[in-house]
Amino acid sequence: MTVKTGDVTPLLSFRGVTKRFGPLTANDAISLDLKAGEVLALLGENGAGKTTLMNILFGHYMADEGAILIDGNPLPRGSTDAAIHAGIGMVHQHFTLAENLTVLENITLGTEPLFSWRRNIRAAREKISSMAVEFGLDADPDKLVGELSVGERQRVEILKALYRDARILILDEPTAVLTPQESDSLFQTLKKLTARGLAVIFISHKLNEILSHTDRVVVLRRGKVAGTVKTSDADRAGLARMMVGEEVKRPTAEAMEPGAPVVRLAAVSCKAGSEAQSLKSVSLEIRAHEIVGLAGVAGNGQRTLASLLSGLAVADSGDVEILGAPGTDDPTALVARGVARIPEDRHATGVVGEMPLWENIISEERRSAEIARAGIVIDKGRALERTRNLIKEFDIRCEGPEAETRLLSGGNMQKLILARVLSRGPRFILANQPVRGLDEGAIAYVQRRLLEARKEGAGILLISEDLDELFALSDRIAVMYHGHLSPARPASELTVGEVGLMMSGQGAEAA
Amino acid sequence: MIGDLLEILLTAGFWAATIRIVSPLILGTLGELICERAGVLNLGIEGIMTMGAMAGWMWVYQGGDLWGGIVFAAFIGALFGMFHAGFTVYLGLSQHVTGIGITLFASSLSYYVFRMLLPTATTPPKITPFQPFAVPVLSDIPVIGEALFTQTPLTYLALLSVPAVWYVLERTPLGLAVRMAGENPVAVESQGIDVLVVRTGAVMVGSAFMAIGGAFITMSAFDAFYFGMINGRGWICVALVIFASWRPGKALLGALLFAGLDALQVRAQQLAGAQIPYQFFLMAPYLLSIAAMVVMARRARYPKALLVPFRRGDRV
Ligand SMILES: Nc1ncnc2c1ncn2[C@@H]1O[C@H](COP(=O)(O)OP(=O)(O)O)[C@@H](O)[C@H]1O
Ligand SMILES: [Mg+2]
């Protein structure tokens, strides 16, 4: 029996919720409250435990300890059905929609008794369109989800929750996949929702959004609540400090004398497959102790250049020289020469998610004398030891070397890739979008590691869409536009504005 | 020769045979289709059909009535479906390995039980199977009437189950849950429905269909049970599901195509006499089916979560 003492019972409260995955404590005795009509930000680095906490609330996971109260009543554990009936709606970080089914089917699943003779499609369509108008969430109910853009899919996810009369809406990193315009319209929708008394849990690690669109901030760090502040009392630096535990500063490059060339491209042309841009007479030199930044809007030939430099494509004409030998279509040979590859899409081409960490760590040198006995039989003991050391050295947060790699958060997966390639002391590093989708702490970490590699003598090609990053790290910058590459010029002689113009094809040297 | 073949195509006998051959195939194919739409490949089909053929027949042979035999076969099929689901849905084991295991186990068990109950039978004992039933009026239509409407009740059941399965899958909330379980199980869980229950139910119902398909062979097409009776029909059904791109209507088309070729080859054998080895005709429907598969399977749209186990509490 709780005796009410004037205060309102919170709509939702977590009481000492703990969740462990093997030796890893993803949520450690978390307690927090949520009031009706409030937008609560849940802030934390990748892997801090935000999604896990929400998965417990929504009934995907079962907490090991602690309880969740809705209006003061305990919520049954591990049941999404109970969560939905308690008025909780969740927009997952990775959408849970069936692409081959229609919007209406995705929304109405589970809203009618399973054993009834027909689905009430007309009523559903009416309800969806009236909600769409009311909250500014357009969606064509009869379209297949597979045909929708990411922003549209997110609207469908929100409609799914509202269709079931959610009182608490969880949004797990909703803006990570949206354009700035789409984010704005999302915030408009949120305003309309909170005006009707809905409570929102908004997960993000973008400080600007949190500061301007939420009422209160709970910061998670390594599974624990690191602090709770009213948004009006919070500031960027303070939140960042709470999130990471220390001041995060992105590193800056120190001046360094470049050494001998590691990569030389002379008038290289390369035809790409139908969906990628071909290279047109590209010339580029990358030297030791040097980072060359490659700017450009995605799809202007960066991918083809990356394929060429990692042995996945060969030039049609022109000279390619990588670490003293001609280019090749044998990636293994390039790795043996000392090329390190940090691929653009970690999940698709960086790691094999279903394999354990240790297999991913040794995957590029399965036949090396260190790992394989007589080049044939893998010495698992050694591989495990090596992986354990790297986990420690690169601070990869995981269950251990035998854990499945897909379970890692984005930042930790990137650290795994860094560990794999940097531990070999590479002489050329192809870093394709190395910090995309990472949080501040992880970004600073990756950048620091790249700068260290440069100091030790590696030449680095840094492909990025983020001009601030390029200017902070690069010695020289080149711009790619429609398959043409501008000459690389010292970063100190360029401005962000100039590079931006060249990226849109207007700079003098871009053509 | 070509002229003779065309003449065959115009006879009611040919079409009646086609419909007869298609009945067990369509039942098996629908069963497999239901399992796969929920995301579970069921390679136990060959064994479950054998089991259904034995169980239904045995029920009648022991004095039960025909429809009781069908219900019994369906029940046994569902039971084996439950085994399959237990291993693949609840324990997340390989669907291929479990399915082949069920086929080996169920086939052998059928023969074992048959021998155990009838240890001394030498010539296969017979039952009185389902008799053809001429639908009044409709059966008087020339050619079509004789082909479609003078079949056994089990054939009518098989043909009617095509629109029925389509309706349940496409038009009812249950069917939506089944389809969603085969496309994205996490989406099903996120709407408060237990994926494991949905998948298990689908596999059990699908397996019951397969068993009825098997029972058709001993209780409608023939009147006895003997070894090797199913003779690969289960595998044909697995292929037909792909041919049909997981749609009940197309499954019927595919099954008709195969059955038609099969009915045609028997007649073509007689035409050709001894000039062409008869094995060539036996092979023809399979060859042509493979060719059709190659063409159709390219455009097939797989259920996205087919073969993917769902584990509660796994990362979503
Ligand atoms: N199902 C799971 N099995 C094992 N580890 C998991 C699982 N889900 C999350 N983790 C781990 O728990 C930690 C917290 O993850 P998560 O909650 O996704 O972080 P966030 O959402 O804050 O980025 C991470 O280290 C992650 O690898
Ligand atoms: Mg997350």
CB atoms A97 and B180 under 8 Å: no
> Three-class SS of residue A402?
coil
How far apart are the CA of B312 and the centre of ligand 1, in A? 15
Domain ranges for chain A:
12-244, 250-338+426-511, 350-424
Q: Is A51 in the pocket of ligand 1 (CB under 6 A)?
A: yes
| pLDDT at residue A508, rounded to an integer | 53
A158 touches chain B (CB under 8 A): no
Q: Which of B192, B304, B316 sits opposite A84 (nearest CB)?
A: B192
User: Residue A178 and residue A191: Cα distance in Å, rounded?
Assistant: 18
Q: Which helix (H) or strand (E) holds A304?
A: helix A302-309
| Residue B245 near residue B296 (C-beta atoms within 8 A) | yes
| pLDDT at residue A2, rounded to an integer | 45
Identity of residue B146: E
A162 touches chain B (CB under 8 A): no
Over residues A122-162, the pLDDT tens digits come to 999 999 999 999 898 888 999 999 999 888 999 999 999 99
In the sheet with A168-172, reading across from the earlier edge strand, the strands are A88-91, A168-172, A199-204, A39-43, A216-221, A224-230
| pLDDT at residue A1, rounded to an integer | 43
> Three-class SS of residue A290?
strand
Share of chain B above pLDDT 70, in %: 99
User: Residue B155 and residue A484: Cα distance in Å, rounded?
Assistant: 68
Q: Is B316 in the pocket of ligand 1 (CB under 6 A)?
A: no
User: Residue A223 and residue A135: Cα distance in Å, rounded?
Assistant: 34
| pLDDT at residue A56, rounded to an integer | 97
Q: Is A26 in the pocket of ligand 1 (CB under 6 A)?
A: yes
A239 touches chain B (CB under 8 A): no
| pLDDT at residue A507, rounded to an integer | 64
CA distance between the termini of chain A: 75
* Dihedrals phi, psi of B25, to nearest 5 degrees: -65, -45
Strand-pair partners of A201: A40, A170
Pocket test for ligand 1, best of A409, A412, A416 (most atoms within 8 A of CB): A409
Mean pLDDT of chain A: 90
Identity of residue B240: L
| pLDDT at residue A139, rounded to an integer | 87
| Residue A59 near residue A79 (C-beta atoms within 8 A) | yes
In the sheet with A279-287, reading across from the earlier edge strand, the strands are A279-287, A261-270, A317-322, A325-326
Domain A250-338+426-511 adopts which CATH fold?
Rossmann fold (3.40.50)
| pLDDT at residue A78, rounded to an integer | 92
Encode A132-167: b = buried (16+ Cβ within 10 Å), e = exposed: beebebebbbeeebeebeebbbbbbbbbbbbbbebb
pLDDT interval class at A241 (50, 70, 90): confident
Q: Is A407 in the pocket of ligand 1 (CB under 6 A)?
A: yes
| Residue B51 near residue B207 (C-beta atoms within 8 A) | no
Over residues A25-62, the pLDDT tens digits come to 999 999 999 999 999 999 998 889 999 999 999 999 99
Decide if pLDDT at A4 tops 50: no
| pLDDT at residue B5, rounded to an integer | 78
Domain A12-244 adopts which CATH fold?
Rossmann fold (3.40.50)
Over residues A200-216, the pLDDT tens digits come to 999 987 888 899 999 99
Count of alpha carbons within 13 angstroms of residue B11, beta-carbon side: 13
The DSSP bridge pattern shows strands A12-21 and A65-70 to be antiparallel
Share of chain A above pLDDT 90, in %: 64
User: Residue A65 and residue A30: Cα distance in Å, rounded?
Assistant: 10
CB atoms A92 and B180 under 8 Å: no
Decide if pLDDT at B273 tops 80: no
Over residues B25-37, the pLDDT tens digits come to 999 999 999 999 9
How far apart are the CA of A227 and the centre of ligand 1, in A? 20
| Residue B188 near residue B177 (C-beta atoms within 8 A) | yes
User: What is the largest distance, in Å, between two alpha-carbon atoms of chain B?
Assistant: 65
Q: Which ligand is nearest to the CA of A52?
A: 1
Of A110, A32, A112, A114, the C-alpha closest to A66 is: A32
> Three-class SS of residue B287?
helix
| pLDDT at residue B316, rounded to an integer | 64
Enter the ipTM: 0.90
Over residues A451-475, the pLDDT tens digits come to 999 999 999 999 987 788 899 999 9
Find the mean pLDDT for residues A99-106. Answer: 95
Candidate from A386-400, B134-148, B177-191, B194-208 with smallest mean pLDDT: B134-148
- DSSP structure string for A122-176: HHHHHHHHHHHHHHT----TTSBGGGS-HHHHHHHHHHHHHHTT-SEEEEESGGG
Q: Is A204 in the pocket of ligand 1 (CB under 6 A)?
A: no
| pLDDT at residue B271, rounded to an integer | 78
CB atoms B191 and A97 under 8 Å: no
User: Residue A394 and residue B305: Cα distance in Å, rounded?
Assistant: 35
Over residues B67-115, the pLDDT tens digits come to 999 999 999 999 999 999 999 999 999 999 999 999 999 999 999 999 9
Count of alpha carbons within 13 angstroms of residue B190, beta-carbon side: 26
- DSSP structure string for B219-268: III-S---TT-STTHHHHHHHHHHHTTT-HHHHHHHHHHHHHHHHHHHHH
| pLDDT at residue A283, rounded to an integer | 95
Over residues B229-272, the pLDDT tens digits come to 999 999 999 999 999 999 999 999 999 999 998 898 888 888 77
- Taking the CA of residue A484 and the nearest CA in chain B, the distance in Å comes to 38
Decide if pLDDT at B153 tops 50: yes
Domains A12-244 and A250-338+426-511 share a fold: yes
Give the CA dihedral A224, A227, A232, A234, nearest 10 degrees. Answer: -100
Q: Whose CA is nearest to atom 18 of ligand 1?
A: A51
> Three-class SS of residue A412?
helix
Q: Which ligand is nearest to the CA of A223?
A: 1
- Taking the CA of residue B108 and the nearest CA in chain A, the distance in Å comes to 36
Residues 406-425 of A with CB under 8 A from B: 406-407
The pTM assigned to this predicted structure is 0.81
pLDDT interval class at B51 (50, 70, 90): very high
Over residues A288-305, the pLDDT tens digits come to 999 999 998 878 899 899
pLDDT interval class at B179 (50, 70, 90): very high
How far apart are the CA of B159 and the centre of ligand 1, in A? 50
CA distances, B119 to each of A55, B76, B113 (Å): 59, 22, 10
Provide residues of B within 8 Å CB-CB of chain A. Answer: 171-174, 176-177, 179-180, 183-184, 186-194, 301, 303-304, 312-313, 315-316
User: Residue B137 and residue B149: Cα distance in Å, rounded?
Assistant: 9
Over residues A173-204, the pLDDT tens digits come to 998 777 777 888 999 999 999 999 999 999 98
| Residue A160 near residue A145 (C-beta atoms within 8 A) | no
Q: Which of B173, B183, B316 sits opposite A55 (nearest CB)?
A: B316
Would you say how long chain A is, in residues? 511
